[in-house]
């Protein structure tokens, strides 16, 4: 609900020399599915739900993508697909959610430092397909996201969120000047979520 007031201010896309971010739509499903299934071992600890299962189908992914597209259109949360520049391969996804998102509704939030949770206006998380990690695309995506959110959005204070069990992403974030501000523990999840600003 928090994002409805941003409807006229939400950027449509981010284009760099290396990749394109744009709102995900149902017609992206085949490219998205290929990225998801290639990266399933990476995504399971990131999601903490067992998703995607080995037998996850294209039809199930279509349901997910359609839900994300509808949520984006309604300004409840924003999902951008990350594509190569000619949009023939999906490299991952970026999710921008309000801090009261259902995904974190039952989390026990612990501050690390002085900022109150109430100051936070958005949670940002992202993943990059496994075959692109070695080239450092995730680092360049994070750099691009930080600049884009600062320059082209009107979000206010926002946090980059990952899970402590995704050690590759944690280590990548901690090589930047982002600082850990909160931990979030969910009763049904083994790993804590870490929120950086």
The burial class, CB within 10 Å (0-12 / 13-18 / 19+), for 116 is exposed
Per-residue pLDDT of 149-188, as tens digits, reads 999 998 889 999 999 999 999 999 999 999 999 999 998 8
Q: What are phi and psi of 93, to 5 degrees?
A: -145, 155
**Going from the N-terminus, what domains does the chain have, and what CATH number goes with each?**
2-196 (3.40.630.30)
Query: Which pLDDT tens digit goes with each residue over 24-52?
Result: 999 999 999 999 999 999 999 989 889 99
Helices vs strands, H then E, count in the chain: 6, 9
- Residues 183, 152: contact at Cβ < 8 Å? no
Q: What is the pLDDT of residues 120-146, one digit of tens each?
A: 999 999 999 999 999 999 999 999 999
Q: How high is the pLDDT of residue 154?
A: 82
- State how far the Cα of 28 lies from the Cα of 137, in Å rounded to an integer: 20
| Cis omega (within 30 of 0) for bond into 196 | no
Total-model pTM: 0.94
Q: Where are the alpha helices (DSSP H) in the chain?
A: 29-38, 40-47, 58-73, 130-133, 137-151, 167-174
Please work out, in degrees rounded to the nearest 5, the angle formed at the alpha carbon of residue 77 by the alpha carbons of 93 and 100: 120
pLDDT of residue 145: 98
> Which pLDDT value is given to residue 11?
92
Q: How far apart are CA 109 and CA 105, in angstroms?
A: 10
């Amino acid at each position: 609900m928090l994002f409805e007031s941003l409807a006229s201010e939400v950027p449509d896309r981010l284009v760099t020399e290396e990749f394109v971010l744009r709102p995900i739509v149902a017609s992206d499903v085949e490219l998205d599915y290929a990225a998801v299934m290639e990266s399933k071992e990476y995504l399971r600890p990131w999601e903490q739900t067992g998703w995607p299962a080995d037998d996850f189908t294209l039809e199930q992914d279509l349901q997910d993508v359609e839900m994300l597209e509808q949520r984006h259109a309604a300004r409840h949360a924003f999902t951008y697909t990350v594509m190569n520049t000619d949009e023939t391969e999906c490299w991952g996804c970026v999710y921008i959610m309000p801090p009261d998102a259902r995904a974190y509704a039952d989390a026990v939030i612990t501050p690390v430092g002085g900022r109150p949770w109430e100051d936070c206006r958005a949670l940002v998380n992202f993943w990059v397909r496994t075959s692109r990690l070695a080239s450092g695309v995730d680092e360049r995506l994070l750099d691009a996201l930080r600049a884009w959110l600062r320059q082209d959005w009107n979000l206010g204070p926002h946090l980059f969120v990952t899970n402590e069990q995704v050690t590759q992403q944690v280590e990548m974030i901690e090589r930047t000047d982002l600082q850990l501000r909160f931990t979030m523990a969910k009763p049904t999840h083994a790993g804590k979520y870490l929120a950086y600003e």
